Amino acid sequence: MVRIRVCEESFVEPILKGEVRCPVHLYSGQEAIATGVCLALSGGDYVFSSHRSHGHYLAKGGSITELIAEIYGKEAGCSRGRGGSMHIIAPEMGMLGSAPIVAGTIPLALGAALASKIRKEKRVTVSFFGDGAAGEGVLYESLNFAALKKLPIIFACENNFYSTHLPIRECRPENNIFEIGKPFCIQSYRIDGNDVLKVYEVSKKAVGQCRKGQGPVLIEFITYRMRGHVGPDDNIQGTHTDIRSKEEVEAWLKKDPIKRFEAFLIKNRILKNEDLRRINQEVEVEVKEAHRYAKMSPYPNPNELTKYVFKEN
């Protein structure tokens, strides 16, 4: 969680300075979900993600150096500078890709789950998406097909209450995403997405169900993004301000998943304050070094503009 937070916050300054230009959707505030879910997975499991995907990539074991280099548009990036922040991938870790077309990767995750089923593997696939995706028809098609074929897939909906600028009350007659699984006979949960232990516990159960052929599972995680939809705040492009009230944002800052887990660790004498400081320092050093490496590493060669349109057989 700390690694994700420090990594995400490290982009604020480069974005404001114009060093990072691609659209960056920061995951700050939602770290407990990626962390808890991916901890419940094993190395061979698959995940797909959306535009807000850095947390999932890191939690699934993607390289922080390659992530940061990608966001600077460098050849050393995980997508060789062709994808930017919204297209990150670590196939060797089972992170099969992320894409910003809302709900676009949900059926792809369905396909990965179907592939495991055809091959009779025990692999589980997680599809991460936001509350905005609950407005897309393909989610319902996917829930139906997943349930029909009993696919080993977890639909992980991170409800942060805002679909870009639009609050959920203006998107749905009721704030009830977890209920959309029921008509398809899908085991569904709604849990506190800022409680990493709870996230892990429910995810582990869901993973177990999927491995036993009792999938799919839908989990709605209630959470909140600390930053804007894109960039550090919603005023980044000077077009609109964050419509969220100051009181609302402050109330959620108190539920910061990292502070909550740190308090738990101290209270239960698992770690001391100095341990927490050390963890933070180590991560700060790692992230700083990754930025340094990314900045000095070369951009893609413009002569290779047309490379990768097709794979050569």
Partner 1 sequence: MKKLSYSLAINEALHQMMESDPSVFLIGQGVKSPWYVGNTAKGLLEKFGPERVIDTPVSENAITGTAVGAALAGMRPVVVHPRVDFMMYAMDPVINEAANWHYMFGGKSSVPVVIWGIINRGGEQAAQHSQSIHAIFAHVPGLKVVMPSTPYDAKGLMISAIKDDNPVIYMDDRWLYNLEGEVPKETFSVPIGKGVVRRHGLNITVAAISYMVDESMKASMELEKEGIDAEVIDLRSVKPLDENLLFESVKKTGRLVVADGGWKTCGMAAEVSARVSENVLDCLKAPILRVTLPDVPAPASRVLEKAYYPTFKTIIDAVKVCYKHERGGDGPPCL
Give the integer Cα–Cα distance in Å for 185 and 195: 27
How many residues bind partner 1 (CB under 8 A)? The answer is 46
Q: Is residue 80 involved in binding partner 1 (CB under 8 A)? A: yes
Q: Is residue 137 involved in binding partner 1 (CB under 8 A)? A: yes
Q: Is residue 264 involved in binding partner 1 (CB under 8 A)? A: no
Q: Is residue 283 involved in binding partner 1 (CB under 8 A)? A: no
Give the integer Cα–Cα distance in Å for 217 and 207: 8
Comparing CB distances to partner 1, the nearer of 38 and 90 is: 90
Comparing CB distances to partner 1, the nearer of 125 and 194 is: 125
Segment near partner 1 (CB under 8 A); pick from 34-42, 141-149, 203-211, 230-238: 141-149
Q: Which of 99, 131, 285 is nearest to 218 (CA)?
A: 131
> CB-based contacts of 26: which residues, under 8 Å, 6+ apart?
8, 9, 11, 12, 52, 54, 225, 226, 227, 228, 231, 232
Q: Is residue 105 involved in binding partner 1 (CB under 8 A)? A: yes
Give the integer Cα–Cα distance in Å for 74 and 80: 6
Q: Which of 154, 222, 200, 173 is nearest to 59 (CA)?
A: 200
Comparing CB distances to partner 1, the nearer of 102 and 191 is: 102
Give the integer Cα–Cα distance in Å for 111 and 12: 35
Least distance CB 116 / partner 1 (angstroms): 7
Q: Is residue 303 involved in binding partner 1 (CB under 8 A)? A: no
Q: Is residue 280 involved in binding partner 1 (CB under 8 A)? A: no
* DSSP calls for 111-164: HHHHHHHHTT----EEEEEEGGGGGSHHHHHHHHHHHHTT--EEEEEEE-SEET
Q: How many CA atoms lie within 13 A of 17 on its CB side?
A: 8
Please identify which residue in 142, 160, 188, 203 interacts with partner 1, judged by CB under 8 A.
Answer: 142
Q: Is residue 218 involved in binding partner 1 (CB under 8 A)? A: no
Q: Is 8 exposed, middle or buried (0-12, 13-18, 19+ CB in 10 A)?
A: buried
Least distance CB 167 / partner 1 (angstroms): 25
Please identify which residue in 87, 227, 229, 260 interacts with partner 1, judged by CB under 8 A.
Answer: 87
Q: Is residue 144 involved in binding partner 1 (CB under 8 A)? A: yes
Residues 16 to 75 in contact with partner 1, rule: CB under 8 A: 46, 48
Comparing CB distances to partner 1, the nearer of 268 and 306 is: 306
Q: Is residue 112 involved in binding partner 1 (CB under 8 A)? A: yes
Show the site string, 181-210: x = touches partner 1 by CB under 8 A, - = not.
------------------------------
Check the CA dihedral 196-289-67-133 and report its sign: positive
Least distance CB 214 / partner 1 (angstroms): 18
Least distance CB 76 / partner 1 (angstroms): 10
Residues that bind partner 1 (CB under 8 A): 46, 48, 77-83, 87, 89, 91, 96-97, 99, 101, 104-118, 137-138, 141-142, 144-145, 148-149, 307-313
